[in-house]
Structure formats: structure tokens, C-alpha cells
A and B are shown apart, each in its own frame.
Chain A
Amino acid sequence: MLYRHFFGFGMSVCLRYAYSREEALEILNDGFMKVFDNIKVFDDGRPFKSWFRKILVNTALDHYRANRTYRINVSLEDLKDETGDLSEDVSSLEAGIEINSELILRLFGRLPETYRLTFNMYEIEGYSHDEIAAMLGISPGTSRSNLSRAKKMLRLLYAQSQNKTRHEAV
């Protein structure tokens, strides 16, 4: 029951940290194993979801540490080469942003993992740069830089996706 009830919530967290649904499932199941192993120490007076979310984030970070040497990331420069100068397009998109979970996951899937982690942890989970630095083993300055680059890359990727959509419509 617990698994079924929190499956959706857990997946929404894990998908943000994984490159694929399979990887997200792996993180989720690892997280659930931790939950089942430690359910006795869970404080009933605290919200379960936040405890569960914290476990999932930490599990995702464990996955990141275990697999980071196998990742191939796209650099910002590569992305610029691929998309061209989209600064004007980006500014024109500020009028309204239409995104859904599929698009976000697609955009996240193209971010280098450290950028994606930093963006997630800072913007979604609410960690500070010092906390992120401690958890990822980087300096707070690097964390800030990663966040800035992640945002820039997301901007470019989003603009790229919008351009593609427009071309298809034409």
C-alpha cells in the first residue's frame, strides 16, 4: 500500500534526477528499500513525504556518485554550436512559457548531470549553495556557476525546442 500510494510522488522526484525512467525506478526502489529498512526510526510527528523526499534525494546523489564517471555530458559551447545564437529567441519567449513534464524531462535529459543536480537541489528542493557544495563535494562557487550555466543551458534548450515546434507547425 505504501509503495503504491507514494509511487507517483517518488517518481516525480526521481525523474528529475535520472536520465531515464529505468534509472528513476532504480533510484525509487533503492529509496523504498531504505524506507522499509528505517521505517522504525521514522518520527510519526514529522511529515512522511518530506522524509521520503529527503531519502530519495540522497539516494539519487548516491547514484550520481556511483555513476558519474560513465556520464557523457554536453557542454554549453557544443549546445551553442548546435543551436546557433538564440539569445533573441530566448528573449522573445519571456512573454510566456509553456512547458509540461515531458518537455522538462527532455530538457533535463540534455543537461550535464552536475548542472541538473544543482538546478534541482537549488530551485526545486531549496538547498543552499553551501549545502549543495557539501553534498556534491564541490565548492559553493562551483555550485553557483553550475546553477548559472544550467539556467543558461535550459534557456537555450527551451528556445531550441520552441524553434523546432514552430518549424514543424510551418
Chain B
Amino acid sequence: MKPFDEEFADKVRAVFDRHDAPFDPSAWDAMHERLKQGRRGRVIAMLYVASRVAASLLIISVLTWISYTYFFTLTPSVSDSGIAEEVIAGSDIRQRHESAAATDALSHLSAPEDSALPAATLRQVITDRETGEVLDDNVSVQVLIDRETGLVITDRGTGEVLDDNVSGQVLIDRETGLVITDRGTGEVITDKETGEILPHRETVEVLPHRETVEVLTHRETGEILPHRETGEVLTHRETVEVLTDRESGQELPLAAEAVSEGTPTKDTLHDADIQQGLLSHGEQRTLPDPRLAGDGPADISLPSHEKQREKPLSWGLAAGSMMTYAEQQLAGGLGFSAGVTSAYRVTNRVSIASGLLLAYQQFEVESTPLVTMSAGKEYARTDMASVRTTADHSYEMLALDIPLNLQIRLPGAGSGRWYVSTGLSSLLYLQQQLSGVETSYVETNYLDPARNTLVYNSFTSSVAVSSNSAPFSHFDFARLLNLSAGYAIRQEKTTTIIEPFVKLPLGSISSRKLKMGMGGVSLRFTFGH
């Protein structure tokens, strides 16, 4: 005997499956009144959407401004200047300093992808009523599919997916949308609701019966078990869809469209789903058998099954702006990036995100120290006291940012979701252009034998520099640490994500060996959940 709770739940399900409240005209009056106000509501909705867009833009602007003003002072990363040892001779300095100390910029956009929707975690476990052993049961939905179009046939009046488990044939009156069943001869057809005999108004295609054969096996022994209700022998974890000719009973080949990915047959639970976290372990319960509901396949749809159809892989478009810092300086000018992102949902809350983003930044850094050198006690022999070289550089960079991030969704309810992500970015440079002026301040000294005093001289010299690196000449593998926190707003089919981010250097990057980071805000639209 089933426990009280289980039986009670079954009864409740059964009662509600049968329950059909009578139509209330006053309810429709209230509804009609609301529909009248719909137009005004749409205007309000448009204003609401516009306000959300405006708020998003405002947030991005404010965050960008904050980043521009404060960010680099909080997270400076200073590299040791590579000192180019030179012998300064004469008053002209024409040396090019390939120093490691400079400022650079590069546009990046972190690209964690949000699986957004809570992953389906339904574990469907059915126990044998007699033995109590856990069985696998593949709940299936039988649908009829037009062999020519591949579409699921639905009642035009009600929108229900129709099937005919008895005769295997469903005919739909093309004019009225009413379901007409063939009693076997193909000539006399009756209205399913009224029973009235109807003439065959036109040639309505008789579709073969599509059967779903279910098979149950003992999970551990593999022994084939009979179906609990029908006693049919079923096979393990497979749903075999068969099209049979109603008259001859012969199997027909499945139309290619009928087995396409989009066909809404909710019929299998695979091990792969369990491994992907779609099905949680540790819960054992019996779901209502849709075949007992008596309400047609339309009632069978379970949320987790629907989510099962959602692919764990999603993609999106991203765009963002950011600032770059290096050598305790914030680069002048904003960079931007755009590209595609993708994410693979590992569990309910965890996704692995990647992408391909084209990042561009043009910026200038002033007074960057390049070379500082002092003769110290050796001045008497070298005649040189010190040399200090600084640079005003202008950089223009274009790179492909390839992030690989781990994204974790935080617990929460509603249409919005907070999440954090971290990972690494690799950079493939398409363009690296440097131009600017490097200025050296040189101080020399010598011992004047006539006066027996030390005489100092100083002078300044400048040189214009420029360099270009060939495309794809440099690749930085996992040199940037991505940190971001985002807020995702789910719409009907897309998710909008606002995501402030920082990218911290794990080493020198670019051909010029710069140690630089970025920070900014990105806006992403993802498709699929």
C-alpha cells in the first residue's frame, strides 16, 4: 500500500486533472475591460522599456566615469623599468630605447556567458509498485507529425496537440479546425465532440500512427520488466518511434523532419542528462503518469522536460568600453570591444564561458620613465653624472581577446540574476602601433684641473619614435586575470547582462612587454538559456 502522503498527492493530482471550473461571464467582463485598456498599457510598457534602457545607459556611463576617475589608483601595477645601459656620447641622443616600462592600452571585454535559466533538475524515478525497486521510466508523449511538413498537428481551435491512441489516425477539418476521426473505413467520419456523421469535405491526409514504444528494464540486472500499467514488455531507456500504416500494420520510415531536433517529443531521459546536472541525484519520487491523466499530451509537459530541451550551450553578442592602466597611469582615451560569446552550462549555477572579442584601443601616456642611470662614484672616470629618459607615447592596438571564464550564478529569485565570474584571457594581436617622442635629460661633469673643481653640464635631447608590429606576430596566452560581477535581466528569448569587469595582468603583455590592466563595463545579449 502506498504511504498516505503519496496517495494523497496522487488523489490531488487526479482531482485537479479532472477539475474543470464552469465558465464565468463576469470574469470575461473584467478581462474585456482590461483588454480595452491594453493600448494605454502598451504605451506605459514602452515607457517602462525606455526607462530601463535609459537606466542601463546611465549605469554604464556612471560606472565608466567611476572607473576612469578612480580605478587605476586602486589597482596600479608597476613594472620595474628595464634600464637600457647606454653610453651617452656627445649632445645628441639617437638611441631607441626598447624599455619594458611604458604604458599601453588594449581593449578587452570579458565574456562569461550566463546560462540564465535555472537548469532543470528533475529526477524522474519510478518505483515498481510491487517490488519497490527503482525503475527507469521514460515518459513519452505521442504526437502526430505531418510527414510532409514535419509539423506537429494541433487542434486549430484549441491549440492542443492531438493524437489518437485508438485508431492511430487524426483528421482535422481544414475549415473548422475540428477533429474528425476516421472510424476505419476512411469514408465515414464523425465529429469527435458531437458524434455527428460528417461528409468527407475534402481530401484530408490520413496520417499513419506514430507509436512510442517504451521499455523498462531493471536498473541493476538489466532484466526486461513489463510495463506497470499495460503489461507490455518494454525496452530499457529507449523510446522507439515507429510509424505504422494503419491498414497494413507495416512499419513506415520516419520522415526526416519528424525526428528533427525541434520536434517536441518529450520522451527520453538519458545518462548524459544526469551527467550534465539536468537531473539531480538523491531524490526519489513518482511523477504523474501522463497516460493516466486523460487530458491528452498537452498536459504531460513537465517543466524539467521542457528545460531538458534547452541546450546547455548558449551564445551571445557583447559590446563594452573600458579604460587601460599601466605604470600608475590611466591611459587617456576610451577603448571598446565587441564580439561573440558562448557558454556551456555545467550545473545549475556553474557555466564555462568563452568568446571571441575584437578589442581596440587608442591612447596616450605621457612622461613615462624609460631610462634612469646614475654614474654614482664613478663620475670622475666617466664624466657622466646621470641620464634620465622619459617618453610620451601614443599607442594603437587591435587584438582578439579569447577569454575562458568560470561563471557562478548567485542564489536569487525573480527575473534578475546576479553572478560572478573569473578566468583568464589570451590575446592575439592584430595591430600594435607605437608613435611618440622620447626625451632624455643628460647631466655630465668633469674635474677642471685649472680650478680643481667639479664642473657640471646638463642638456636635453628629444627623438621621435614609431614602430609597427606585424599582425599575429605576438600571442599572450592566459596573461590576464578576468574578474567580473554581472546582473542578468531575462526577457522572453534573450538575456541582457550588465557586467562591470577588471582584467589584471599576470605578466608582461604585448610585443612591448607592458604590464597593464583594464577595467570597464560590458553589455551583453545572450540567446538561449
- Please report A residues at the B interface, Cβ cutoff 8 Å: 1, 3-9, 11-13, 15-16, 25, 28-29, 32-33, 36, 38, 41, 44-50, 53-54, 65, 90-91, 93-94, 97, 99-101, 104, 119, 123-131, 133-137, 139, 151, 154-155, 158
Contact = CB atoms under 8 A, between A and B. Distances in A.
Interface in B154-169: 154, 157-161
A48 B297 CA distance: 11
Interface of B: 1, 3-5, 7-9, 11-13, 15-16, 19-24, 27-28, 30-31, 34-35, 38, 118-123, 151-152, 154, 157-161, 262-264, 280, 283, 287-288, 296-304, 306, 348, 411-414, 492-493
B13 A124 contact: yes
Given A8-B23, A45-B262, A126 B303 contact: yes
A99 B11 contact: yes
Contacts of A6: 158
B152 A45 contact: yes
Contacts of A131: 118, 120-122, 303-304
A123 B9 contact: yes
A94 B5 CA distance: 9
Contacts of B5: 151, 154-155
A5 to B, nearest CB: 6
Contact of A47 (B4, B21, B262, B264): B264
Contacts of B154: 44, 47-48
B8 A48 contact: no
Nearest to A122: B285
B8 A154 contact: yes
A129 B283 contact: yes
Contacts of A8: 19-23
Task: Name the residue among A15, A29, A38 with the largest chain B CB count within 10 angstroms.
Answer: A29
Nearest to A124: B13
B287 A15 contact: no
A104 B413 contact: no
15 contacts: A3-B31, A6-B158, A15-B19, A16-B16, A33-B31, A47-B161, A47-B264, A49-B159, A126-B304, A127-B304, A128-B304, A129-B280, A131-B303, A134-B413, A154-B5
A151 B280 CA distance: 22
Nearest to B302: A126
Nearest to A16: B16
A49 B299 contact: yes
A127 B122 contact: yes
A151 B297 CA distance: 28
Given A90-B4, A131-B121, A46 B303 contact: no
B16 A28 contact: no
B16 A50 contact: no
A9 B304 contact: no
Given A3-B28, A48-B154, A12 B16 contact: yes
A36 B21 CA distance: 21
A137 B412 contact: yes
B414 A65 contact: yes
A114 B414 CA distance: 16
B122 A155 contact: no
Nearest to B309: A46
A126 B122 contact: yes
Q: Which 8 A-B pairs have the closest CB atoms?
A: A137-B413, A48-B159, A50-B301, A49-B298, A11-B21, A8-B20, A47-B298, A130-B121
Contact of A29 (B16, B31, B151): B31
Contacts of A53: 301
A41 B8 CA distance: 38
B122 A101 contact: no
Contact of B24 (A25, A33, A126): A25
B44 to A, nearest CB: 12
Contacts of B299: 49-50
A50 B35 CA distance: 23
Given A7-B27, A104-B15, A128-B304, A46 B283 contact: no
